[in-house]
Amino acid sequence: MRVREDRLREDLLTNGEFGAVDVERGYGRTVLTGSDADRKAREYLVEQLEALGMDVRVDAVGNIAGRWTPESADPDVAPIAAGSHLDSVPHGGIFDGPLGVYSAVEAVRAMQDAGVEPERPIEVVSFTEEEGQRFEVGTLGSSVAVGDTEIEEALALTDDSGTTLETHLENTGFRGEGALDVAGWDAWFEIHVEQSTTLEDADVPVGIVTAITGITNCSVEIVGAADHAGGTHMDDRSDALLAASEFVQEVNEIAHEIVETESEFAVATVGNMEIEPNARNVVAGRVAISTDFRDTDRDVMDEIVDRADKSLARIEKQHELTAELDNYRTIDPAHMTDRCLEALREAGERRGIETMELPSGGGHDSMKVARVTDAGMLFAPSRDGISHSPLEWTDWEDCARTADVLTGAIAELAGVDDV
Check which CATH number belongs to the domain holding 151 and give it. Answer: 3.40.630.10
Look at residues 288, 315, 331 and tell me which one is the last residue of a structural domain.
331
Q: Is the pLDDT of residue 295 over 90?
A: yes
The Cβ-side half-sphere exposure at 301, using a 13 Å CA radius, reads 20
What pLDDT, on a 0 to 100 scale, did the predictor assign at position 417?
80
Please state whether beta strands 64-68 and 80-85 pair in parallel, antiparallel, or not at all (unpaired): unpaired
Q: Is the pLDDT of residue 151 over 80?
A: yes
Arithmetic mean of pLDDT, 265-294: 96
Report CA Rg, the chain.
Answer: 24
| Cα gap 83→11, rounded to integer Å | 14
| Residues 140 and 249 reside in one and the same domain | no
Q: Is the pLDDT of residue 418 over 90?
A: no
| Residues 205 and 269 reside in one and the same domain | no
| Residues 392 and 293 reside in one and the same domain | no
| Residues 30 and 173 reside in one and the same domain | yes
| Residues 164 and 304 reside in one and the same domain | no
| Cα gap 19→285, rounded to integer Å | 44
What is the total count of domains within the chain?
A: 2
- Please state, rounded to an integer, the average pLDDT across all residues of the chain: 96
| Residues 219 and 342 reside in one and the same domain | no
Q: What are the pLDDT digits (tens) for 15-29?
A: 999 999 999 999 999
Q: Which of these, 332, 328, 318, lies nearest to 250 by C-alpha position? A: 318
Arithmetic mean of pLDDT, 40-55: 98
pLDDT band at 1 (very low <50, low <70, confident <90, very high): confident
pLDDT band at 136 (very low <50, low <70, confident <90, very high): confident
Look at residues 301, 331, 361 and tell me which one is the last residue of a structural domain.
331
| Residues 161 and 66 reside in one and the same domain | yes
∠ CA(134), CA(378), CA(126), 5° rounding? 35
- Spell out the residues 6+ positions from residue 289 whose beta carbon is closer than 8 angstroms to its own: 219, 220, 221, 222, 244, 247, 248, 270, 272, 273, 274
| Residues 318 and 355 reside in one and the same domain | no
Arithmetic mean of pLDDT, 218-230: 97
Look at residues 331, 355, 382 and tell me which one is the last residue of a structural domain.
331
Arithmetic mean of pLDDT, 335-356: 97
DSSP tag of 373: S
| Residues 190 and 276 reside in one and the same domain | no
What pLDDT, on a 0 to 100 scale, did the predictor assign at position 363?
86
Q: Is the pLDDT of residue 275 over 90?
A: yes
**Could you give the percent of the chain with pLDDT greater than 70?**
100
Q: What are the pLDDT digits (tens) for 89-112?
A: 999 999 999 999 999 999 999 999
Helices 396-413 and 5-16: angle between axes, nearest 10 degrees = 110
Amino acid at 131: E
- Judged by DSSP in three states, 281 sits in coil
What pLDDT, on a 0 to 100 scale, did the predictor assign at position 14?
98
Cβ 240 vs Cβ 349: under 8 Å: no
∠ CA(50), CA(51), CA(54), 5° rounding? 40
Tell me which residue range forms the domain holding 155.
Answer: 5-213+333-413
What pLDDT, on a 0 to 100 scale, did the predictor assign at position 248?
98
| Residues 185 and 289 reside in one and the same domain | no
| Residues 77 and 205 reside in one and the same domain | yes
Q: Contacts from 148-155 at CB under 8 Å and sequence distance 24+?
A: 148/368, 151/60, 151/61, 151/179, 154/61, 155/60, 155/61
| Residues 281 and 405 reside in one and the same domain | no
In CATH, what number is assigned to the domain containing residue 221?
3.30.70.360
